[in-house]
Every structure is written in C-alpha cells, then in structure tokens.
Chains A and B, each alone.
Chain A
C-alpha cells in the first residue's frame, strides 16, 4: 500500500520536472512585458506584428483588466510590466490616480482627439467602441431613439441587457455624469419595472435579439459586426441602431494603453515604441478590420459597413469621469438589476 502511494507521488514530482521543457516558448529574454486586459484572440496577431516591429521578444500576460490593474498596484515599483493594455478607461484611470503610469510624450498623445485620452497625459485610447441598440426588425420595426423610451410600457419584457458587463456599467456611469444621479436612479427604476431580461455578456444579448427572445438589446457596436463577419450579415436577423442627439445610450468608450512606472530604461523605451506602434496606421487598421472597433488615430478609416465616428452623435463626456463605478454599482444594486 505504501509503495504505490510513494511511487505515484514520485511520478507526480517527476512529471513536474518535465515542465520547463514544455513551457519554454523562447530562450530569448523578452525586451518588453505587456499586461493585457484585452483577449488574446483579439490582440494576439497584433502582438506578433509588434515583435517584428520592435525586433525583440514581447511577453504578454493576459487577464481581466481590473484584476491586472490590482496586480500592477500590488507589484508597485517591482513590476515586470512595461506596458498596460486595458479593455476600458476605468482601469487606466485607477492606475493613473495611484501614480503608477508614466507621462506620455505629446507626439503620442496628439495622435488621438483629447476626448479619448487622459487629461493628465498618462494614458491614451487606442480603439473606440460605441453603445448601440440591437433590434429584431420582426419584433421591433421602429427602434427607439433614446434609452429614455425604454422605460415606457410598450417595451415591457422585451429588453435584453448585460447588467454585470463593464461596458453597460460605463454607460450607466455616463448617464449619471450627464444627467445627474437622480435622473439615472429614476431611469434604472423604470427599467427594472419593465422586467428586462439579464444576460451574462453582450454576445448573449445579441443572440437573444437575433432569436427573437427579446425585441431589442443594449450592447457595444462591434459585436454585431463580428457576428455578421462570421455568419454573414444576411444570416443575422438583428440590426443595429445608433442613438442620435447625444443620448447617453450612445456613449463612446475606449480601450487604451499606459506606460507602467518602475520598468527599467530599456523596457520603458520599448514600451513607448509599442504605444506608438499601437497608434500607427498599421495597428489602427488592424483594430478596424479585425475587432470592428473605431480606430482613434487621425486618418484611419473604420471597417466597411461601420458608420464613421464623425457621423455619430455621441454624448459629450470626459472619459476620465467614468471612474465613479462604485456609485453606479450601488445604484444598480439598489434598483435590483445586478
């Protein structure tokens, strides 16, 4: 009895020793380490281009934006990361507040409009996404022009949304900033009374709209275009509606990058080059074509079929003010939506 146990433990330990052989991706030390809150499936190919561009290995740690920002705060000056690529402006704002991001040079910042970068100049947006109403023409031939219409009785039980999704919560934060807490609270209460159907993420909302489970849903624009590219636009029943007149439901948010303080000189130089590369025409085209997001650097066109950013009428808002997520959550909890 004893021997089998000892043997199996020895075998397990031996198995562990074979590990270095398996995980040696490259023997070259990496010149740059990136913490990425954006999914590997989305930015992986771009990282390969970046490696060629920099002429050094780039190691990427993928994770959730909020968790990686907590990790960066925990690591402090001892961090191995040179660059933080975040899914949303909120995580970058949190690091900026704690003084963990280095100043970016004006020539980098000036690649994008002031709306899409930090006022302190320590992070910059690299791609934009806009909130839209996806609707099923059979169920809702005329989609509403404002999220304020969604609290009307005609939409009872017909709305799909993803209450725990960061983008939805950013939209609610935007509404609080634009219209005040009281208005936002009243709207959430009205939404709750209309018995909306909650889903785990944007993609599930889109599927529900497409199948007619709900008549319309609130999500980010690129989900529809990705699905259309994958399945064929004619196979998709759902359509996208952009909200006009600066409606809070048409918020434009960004994914962005910041240089991490504490990296050594050489890595910081690589990180700076990487930030510039992500704002280069090549990368911006990649975002437009592959993720169907809005390129933010001047002079790059969005993907075919996506209406130009200039043609939209998003609400005017300082993205740096979208960091009061805590109050938003308290409000969502109070309304019984999360």
Chain B
C-alpha cells in the first residue's frame, strides 16, 4: 500500500503495538523522536479517559446480558448450541457475505469519494449528496425493490447486492471527509512530477485515506454480520437470521444469546485485525497547511466512464428503490395519505434521531481521540469495548436494554431518554470510527506545540484537536443521525408506548402489505436523510 520511496509523505514514528506504554508513567522527551512527542506515550489524560470509560461501559451492557442469558443453563448447553454443525455453517456464510460486501463497498466508497472530492467531475457537489442517500433507503426497501424486479436474485447474490448498496456510504463518508481534510499539496507535487490522476490516486491519495477506509470497512463488516432485514427478504441464511429464527421458533432466549456471543467474539477479532491493518504509519501534515480548495484533477478520457460509474451506483442504490416507491404510490389502492400523521411522525423521528446522534457523538469523541492518539492496552480495550455490541442483532441489544432498564432504571423504562441511550449503545462505533479517522489526520505535532505553550490537555483537545477533526466528526454525527432514523428493533421495544417513528410506521404498513400506504413514510425517511447528506455535500472548506 505505501511505498517506501514515495517522494511525498510525512511519516510519524509510532510506538510498535507490541510495546504497550506503561500507563501513568511520564516518559522523558527523546529529542531524536520525529515529531517530538511530549507525553502522549505516557497514556491519555484522565479528562479524556473518564468519559471514554463511561461510553465504553454503556457499550458493553449488552455483553453482560448475553453472559447472563447464554449461561443460564450452564456452559455445556451454550457450547452445544455454538458448536453445532449448523452454527458453524451459518458463521461461514456470514463471513463470506461480509467479505464480499466489504470488498465491494471499499471499491464503491473510495472510488466515489475520490471522484467527488478530487476530480473535475461535472456536478461533483450534487453527486456527493446523491451517493450519501443510499444510507437513507432502508435495506428492506432496497431488497424488496430488487427482489420484485428480479426474483432470481434471492440468496447470496441478492443479499450481497442489497447490503452493498445500503452500506457503501459507510466507507464513502469518512473517506470523503478525509480527502476534504487533507492537504492537497501532496497530490499537486505528485502530479507536477508527471503522475497521472490515477497513479497519483494509487500512490499518494490512497495511503492517506487508509485509516478512514479501514474504519468504514469495519463498520460495513459489522453491519453485514448483524443485518436481518435484507437477508430475511433475500432468504439467505446467515448467522443473524439463525438468531432471529431461534427467537421466533423456540421463544427461548438462551440459544439466541449463545449465538450472539459468537458474534461478539467476531467483532473483537475484526476490530483487532483492523487496528493492525492501520499499520504503523500515521499520515498527517507537519506544516500548518489547512485543507483548502484545490485545482481538481482533470479526468480527460475518464470523464464519461466516471460519470457512468456514479450514475450507475446512484441509479441502482437510490433511483431504483425510489422508482419502486413511486410505483407503489401510483398503483396502490390502499394509498392513504395522512399528512398530519406523516408530519408528526417525521418530527418525532427528527427529534429522537437528532438527540441520538448528539449523545452518540459526544460519547464517541473521547473514545475516538484515545483510539487515534494512543497505543497501548487501555486504548485498545476502550476501542474494543465501544465496538463490542455492534455485530449483535438489534433485537438482542434491545432485549439487553429491557433487562437492565426494568431492573435498574425503572422510571426511565420505555421513556425517550432510554431510547436515545439505546441509539448510543447501538451506533457508538459509527461515530467512533469517524472521530478516530478525523483525529488521526490532525497532526499530533500541533497538540504537542499547544501543550508546550502551556495549554492543559483538555485545552488542547478543545482548541486544537477537535476543531481540526471537526469535519470528520460532523460526518460521523450525520451518519449516526441517519442510522438512528432507520433503526427498528430497539425502537419497537423501547419507544414510549404510542410513539411512532418513520421506521415503525413503515413496519406497520408493510406488515399488512399496504405498500402504497408505506410509501409516504419510506419517502419521508429518504427526504429527511437527504438533509444531512446535503449539509455534508456542502461542507467544503
């Protein structure tokens, strides 16, 4: 990925991961160390660690529940469930699907991010908004649209297609944010040395966005592992479908919990692999050069293929599902427009999703900063914890929160604050990945300078790190906002009784097959999600 002879690259030495820093001990400054790190190696400030621990504790709640339920009938029972032939087979299928979807999402996400931020793509601004939109289309709608058009897609192909189309923005958004946040000087130098746009991209740009892409890829992998909507519609048996089936078939929570525990182990393994893949090189500017508008790369002969590529992706991921919605609206005899209900539901959805995004982002900040700035056992543990529950199916996380809420925070049970906490537990990794990628790009040397000028660690965070990382953090907040809006299983169980979001209305209407009545809610979801996409598309410094 990174070639040692690349002429344009600043490399920061980082501690090898195998040598965890002894926490709490102040290290003497070694003047020979590039970047002159002050005391970062000594471990993060407690001002960041404490809130990060709070966030991590919230995120591992579901694990406590899983342990209680999975071991209810003894470890032997749980082991029998896990080690059955079928479990192993389902796990392999899930992993195969994940690998396929991640590869496809990396290809789509990175190529589109580069085209929209770095090249003279016609209407780049509009494209950058359009390619974020697939996030807003519930995977259920995408899968339904494609399945009704091509029933033969059912199975692996259809699941891979629907999940790729639904989740490539997880890669696109952080990578685009990273590209907007990097100094284009590197590419300019490369191009002045005679590299073409493609070569510049491969040799210079790609290494710069690696952390962001890896973080996005991890989210996609976890999303695929935990998705139920698309695979159930496409009738492709995965591990998660097995868990849902287990709930529905036996009304028994123990086997389902034992199976979910396997997904937690998968998450830990994936997060570890992703941390390793981050490599030892951190890319950031050493100078004070800020991200600035740059002369975009001319596409030349690639212009038409590039447009066709963007067009195809947007058409398959957004255009086609929207056309299907339009068709439902047009032909449905059960079409009942209820503007008042729609408006109230939309406002409710906006409010809970906004609150969920705000809380998640605030909780993710300290975890993201530690993950980006520090190596060592504590940093790694915090990051693992934040991701822990992300591959667990929504229904399991929801039941975990029911379990704890009725026992320990009874007054909050089935009240809005608990629902918002549930969103934070579910989507913490989404915001952490974005924050981490953004902080990695902010040059650590600036933190050091600020410290040497007498700023407190918290002051550095407030005045240097967070402002530099702001675009990436904002992208994370927007992403979280959209996924909160689409969330269904936890919303159904934890919402205040009688409250409806667009996703729950959509579920109600499709439940009786009133697709025409469901269409306005699906359209509403997509419209609302277009707002943060638009803001992000515009967010160009």
Q: Which of A19, A201, A329 has the most CB of B within 10 A?
A: A19
Interface flag for A66 (CB, 8 Å): yes
B245 touches A329 (CB 8 A): yes
B235 interface neighbour in A15, A42, A164, Cβ under 8 Å: A164
Q: Write the A37-80 contact mask toward B (1 if CB under 8 angstroms, else 0).
A: 00111100000000000000001111110110111011110111
Bound CA span A30–B498, Å: 11
A8 interface neighbour in B249, B362, B474, Cβ under 8 Å: B474
- Chain B interface category by residue count: 35 or more
A198 touches B410 (CB 8 A): no
Bound CA span A333–B235, Å: 12
Bound CA span A30–B403, Å: 23
Bound CA span A231–B333, Å: 8
**Which residues 337-366 in B have Cβ within 8 Å of A in the complex?**
344, 347-348, 350-352, 354-355, 357-358, 361-362
Bound CA span A79–B399, Å: 13
Interface flag for A265 (CB, 8 Å): no
The interface residues of chain B lying within 8 Å CB-to-CB of A4 are: 470, 474
A16 touches B497 (CB 8 A): no
Interface flag for B367 (CB, 8 Å): no
Q: Write the A77-98 contact mask toward B (1 if CB under 8 angstroms, else 0).
A: 0111000000000110011000
The interface residues of chain A lying within 8 Å CB-to-CB of B147 are: 200
CB distance from A87 to the nearest CB of B (A): 10
Bound CA span A183–B245, Å: 24
Bound CA span A164–B235, Å: 9
**Which residues 6-53 in A have Cβ within 8 Å of B in the complex?**
8-9, 11-13, 15-16, 18-20, 22-23, 25, 30, 33, 39-42
For B498, give the chain A residue with the smallest CB separation: A25
Bound CA span A338–B242, Å: 11
Q: Write the B486-525 contact mask toward A (1 if CB under 8 angstroms, else 0).
A: 0001001101111100001000110111100100000000
B232 touches A164 (CB 8 A): yes
Given the contacts A200-B233, A338-B235, A20 and B416 also touching, CB distance less than 8 Å:
yes
The interface residues of chain B lying within 8 Å CB-to-CB of A163 are: 235
B250 touches A325 (CB 8 A): yes
CB distance from A41 to the nearest CB of B (A): 5
Interface flag for B529 (CB, 8 Å): no
Given the contacts A60-B498, A164-B235, A203-B513, A71 and B354 also touching, CB distance less than 8 Å:
no
A75 interface neighbour in B235, B357, B402, B462, Cβ under 8 Å: B402
The interface residues of chain A lying within 8 Å CB-to-CB of B232 are: 164, 200
Q: Write the A148-164 contact mask toward B (1 if CB under 8 angstroms, else 0).
A: 00000000000000011
Given the contacts A66-B247, A67-B493, A198-B154, A15 and B470 also touching, CB distance less than 8 Å:
no
Interface flag for A2 (CB, 8 Å): yes
Interface flag for B38 (CB, 8 Å): no
For B248, give the chain A residue with the smallest CB separation: A66
B350 touches A15 (CB 8 A): yes
A16 interface neighbour in B154, B251, B351, Cβ under 8 Å: B351
For B251, give the chain A residue with the smallest CB separation: A94
A41 touches B251 (CB 8 A): no
Bound CA span A95–B350, Å: 36
B348 touches A23 (CB 8 A): yes
Interface flag for A230 (CB, 8 Å): yes
Bound CA span A70–B463, Å: 48
B477 touches A23 (CB 8 A): no
CB distance from B414 to the nearest CB of A (A): 7
A74 interface neighbour in B151, B361, B399, Cβ under 8 Å: B399
B358 touches A12 (CB 8 A): yes
The interface residues of chain B lying within 8 Å CB-to-CB of A333 are: 86, 237
Interface flag for A326 (CB, 8 Å): yes
B512 interface neighbour in A2, A41, A231, Cβ under 8 Å: A41
Interface flag for B526 (CB, 8 Å): no
The interface residues of chain B lying within 8 Å CB-to-CB of A63 are: 492-493
**Dominant secondary structure of chain B at its interface with chain A:** helix
CB distance from A53 to the nearest CB of B (A): 19
A75 touches B406 (CB 8 A): yes
B512 touches A39 (CB 8 A): yes
B251 touches A66 (CB 8 A): yes
The interface residues of chain B lying within 8 Å CB-to-CB of A11 are: 354
For B235, give the chain A residue with the smallest CB separation: A198
Bound CA span A207–B159, Å: 23
The interface residues of chain A lying within 8 Å CB-to-CB of B351 are: 15-16, 18-19, 22
B416 touches A23 (CB 8 A): yes
A70 touches B251 (CB 8 A): yes
Name 21 interchain pairs, CB-CB below 8 A, sorted by A.
A2-B470, A9-B358, A15-B354, A16-B351, A16-B355, A22-B348, A23-B499, A25-B499, A39-B511, A60-B498, A61-B414, A61-B495, A62-B504, A67-B248, A78-B406, A79-B406, A94-B251, A326-B250, A328-B249, A333-B237, A338-B245
User: Chain B interface (Cβ within 8 Å of chain A)?
Assistant: 86, 147, 151, 154, 232-233, 235, 237, 245, 247-253, 333-334, 344, 347-348, 350-352, 354-355, 357-358, 361-362, 395, 399, 402-403, 406-407, 410, 413-414, 416, 420, 462-463, 466-468, 470-471, 473-474, 477, 481, 489, 492-493, 495-499, 504, 508-509, 511-514, 517, 541
Query: What 13 new A-B contacts, CB under 8 Å, besides A30-B497, A74-B399?
Result: A1-B470, A20-B416, A41-B509, A41-B514, A64-B492, A66-B247, A67-B395, A74-B402, A80-B414, A91-B251, A94-B252, A95-B251, A169-B249
User: Chain A interface (Cβ within 8 Å of chain B)?
Assistant: 1-2, 4-5, 8-9, 11-13, 15-16, 18-20, 22-23, 25, 30, 33, 39-42, 59-64, 66-67, 69-71, 73-76, 78-80, 90-91, 94-95, 163-164, 166, 169, 197-198, 200-201, 203, 230-231, 325-326, 328-329, 333, 338
Q: List 8 A-B pairs, minimum CB-CB distance, nearest first.
A: A16-B355, A94-B251, A2-B467, A12-B358, A203-B513, A15-B354, A59-B497, A66-B248
